[in-house]
Amino acid sequence: MYLILRLIQKLVATLNSEGTPGQVGAGMAIGTVFGLTPLMNLHNLVILAFVMVFRVSFPAVMLGWFVAVPFGFALDPVFDSIGLTMLETLRLVPLWTTVANAPVIALFNLNNSVVLGSFVCWILVLVPLYFGMRICVAKYRERVYARLQGTKVFKVVKGSKIYGFYRMFRPE
């Protein structure tokens, strides 16, 4: 129960963070790679480094990861068939041979059908997911959060000493 409450708290905090809707949307879109693809691959480390270097909402990355995990497990057979089709396509065999024999690129494990299929599917949905999440975050802030700020419960919680104490230790 505690974990569910913490997740809801993180979700609300992420949606109401100081980051722009673009930063939150990018974080959620990028975070889905960790849930869709098998975790222990070099491409995930490269993407994590990308997230740390550029201004992307890290809590949104974690939220995107959490939301995408069930979809990753459910879509594994689809990813496997897509990856297997790509690996067995005769025109692409020389490419996969080169990739598998390259010193560093081989660590991306693209000769695994699930890894390849899930990574390709993530690449295909990355841009639409980014724009969709960006719009959703902006609409949430404009409509839902603005409405919540006017409620008595919100004002009571925000005016309480506990909230003031929480704000003292909240990194900004």
**What pLDDT does residue 79 have?**
96
Question: Which whole number is the average pLDDT over 152-170?
Answer: 60
Q: Which two tokens stand for residue 15?
A: 């949606």
Question: What is the predicted pLDDT for the residue at 19?
Answer: 80
Predicted pLDDT at 75: 95
pLDDT for 167 beyond 60 = no
Average pLDDT over residues 112-138: 94
What percent of the chain is modeled with pLDDT above 70? 84
Angle at alpha carbon of residue 80, lines to 75 and 84, rounded to 5°: 155
pLDDT at position 4, please? 67
pLDDT at residue 27 in the model: 92
- The pLDDT score that the predictor gives to residue 147 is 81
- Cα separation of the two ends of the chain: 28
Average pLDDT along the chain = 85
pTM (2 d.p.): 0.78
Decide if pLDDT at 130 tops 80: yes
- Of residues 144 and 18, more confidence is placed in 144
**pLDDT tens-place string over residues 105-121:** 888 989 999 999 999 99
